[in-house]
Chain A
Amino acid sequence: EIVLTQSPATLSLSPGERATLSCRASQSVSRYLAWYQQKPGQAPRLLIYDASNRATGIPARFSGSGSGTDFTLTISSLEPEDFAVYYCQQRSNGPPGFGPGTRVDLK
């Protein structure tokens, strides 16, 4: 079973700053890595699939990169609505799984 690790656990930033979130897999997942945003009381929302493809309606300030075991979600300039928890998710030959999440909060 592949384990995902996310860092940092919490990222404290101000609006307008750049956010860089990391997701590392215990073994290669090729490019089968997705990112989700979750706000309190809401369901997760797909942001990025297959490592770097933005989902429909997702603003261009969100971008994903990486392959193999190391992946990054970048928010180029934080908007007030971007403060939330972000999860990565992999699918491999085994069961799909999620990382523990990174909380992006207001500094």
Chain B
Amino acid sequence: QVQLQESGPGLVKPSETLSLTCTVSGDSVGSYYWSWIRQPPGKGLEWVGYVYNSGTTYYNPALKSRLTMSVDTSRNQFSLNLKSVTAADTAVYYCARYQMLDWFDPWGQGTLVTVSS
């Protein structure tokens, strides 16, 4: 059974970089596309981007200029870096497997990141 677990700081200062890691167990991170999705408190879901082992990435156009995603096969992890954050980036961040570039399953439990000084 595939399981995903997000990790990273829960508090980031404005203008700094938000960095999160998703650790995958039960499957090889090199075999699939992987994605990040976020959800501001009390709001809906926003797709952030996806990454593949080959280095292929596709980012939400609204975040593209600030976003970097990568895969680390040695640790079976993938990561997200979002620079120059503002309060608008405060959200629960979920990692998920992007099956067939079509649907997201499974999901991690999510991690709340607050942007505040």
Contact = CB atoms under 8 A, between A and B. Distances in A.
Interface of A: 1, 32, 34, 36, 42-46, 49-50, 55, 87, 89, 91, 95-101
Interface in B27-59: 44-47, 58
* Residue among A36, A44, A50, A100 having the largest count of chain B Cβ atoms under 10 Å: A44
A43 B94 contact: yes
B26 to A, nearest CB: 14
A32 B102 contact: yes
Contacts, number: 51
Interface of B: 44-47, 58, 60-61, 94, 99, 101-110
Given A32-B102, A55-B105, A100 B44 contact: yes
Given A46-B105, A49-B99, A98 B61 contact: no
Contact of A43 (B61, B101, B103, B107): B107
* Residue among A42, A49, A50, A101 having the largest count of chain B Cβ atoms under 10 Å: A49
Q: A-B pairs with the 8 shortest C-beta distances?
A: A46-B105, A34-B103, A43-B107, A49-B103, A98-B45, A96-B47, A100-B44, A43-B110
Contacts of A89: 45, 103-104
Majority secondary structure, A binding face: loop
Contacts of B109: 42-43
Contacts of B106: 46
Contact of A97 (B47, B102, B107): B47
